[in-house]
Amino acid sequence: MADVADRPEAGRPDADARLAAIYQDIILDHYRRPRGKGALDAPDLAAERRNPLCGDEISLQLALDGDVVREVRFTGRGCSISQASASMLTQAIRGKTRAEAEALVRRFVALAHGDAEAGGDKAMGELRALQGVARFPARIRCATLAWGALDDALKCDTARGDASRGEREG
């Protein structure tokens, strides 16, 4: 992996295998016990994306308090990577301003594409568990699906998000 030099333990096969196992556990935990799953009664922003290659679907809803994301929920179905990533997104985005959320979208997309600096950033928290998808291009779309939906939702200018307008493949 491109980011091995950033981790003191890395480079040794046993350390890499241990880290991969930890990351796998985090992904499966979010897949089996998704956080932030469900629908909001009165979302301010919403968007939906699909990944036809894998059959993944993510619908995202946000409630704002001024400029701050007060609550975020998702519904969807699909592979463990896509659903775990959406679950982690809800935890990562809650309480952030729209600008901070947009910056995190860019940061996460970079991580999913193998950016070593983003992958080694402790501030990314559990999201770092998904950096392994960079080695599997087909899975990058799974990991970034919810983030694309978030990007669509944040770009809605109306007070009420228009889910149909935001529905795109991606």
Query: By C-beta, is 51 or 98 nearer to Zn ion?
Result: 51
Phi, psi values for residue 63, rounded to 5°? -110, 130
Q: Whole-number minimum distance, CB 53 to Zn ion, in Å?
A: 8
Contacting Zn ion (CB under 5 A), which of 56, 71, 115, 152? 56
Half-sphere exposure of 36 (CA within 13 A, CB side): 25
Q: Give min distance, CB of 134 to Zn ion, in A.
A: 15
Question: Does 79 contact Zn ion by CB under 5 A?
Answer: yes
What is the enclosing helix (H) or strand (E) of 89?
helix 80-93
**2/54 with CB nearer Zn ion:** 54
Which residue, 48 or 56, has its beta carbon nearer to Zn ion?
Answer: 56
Helix (H) or strand (E) holding 88: helix 80-93
What is the smallest separation between the CB atom of 26 and Zn ion, expressed in angstroms? 17
At a CB cut-off of 8 Å and minimum separation 6, what does 121 contact? Answer: 107, 111, 128
Residue 44 or 56: the one with the smaller Cβ distance to Zn ion is 56
Alpha helices by DSSP H, listed for 94-163, are 98-112, 116-119, 137-154
* Residue 136: CB minimum distance to Zn ion, A: 10
Least Cβ distance, residue 108 to Zn ion (angstroms): 16
**Which tokens go with 11?**
């480079």
Measured in whole angstroms, the distance separating CA 3 from the mean position of its chain's CA atoms is 20
Yes or no: say if 167 and 49 are a contact pair by the CB < 8 Å rule: yes
54 binds Zn ion (CB under 5 A): yes
Binding mask 82-101 for Zn ion (x = CB under 5 A): x-------------------
Q: Which of 69, 130, 142, 153 binds Zn ion (CB under 5 A)?
A: 142
Q: Give the residues lining the site for Zn ion (CB under 5 A).
A: 54, 56, 79, 82, 142
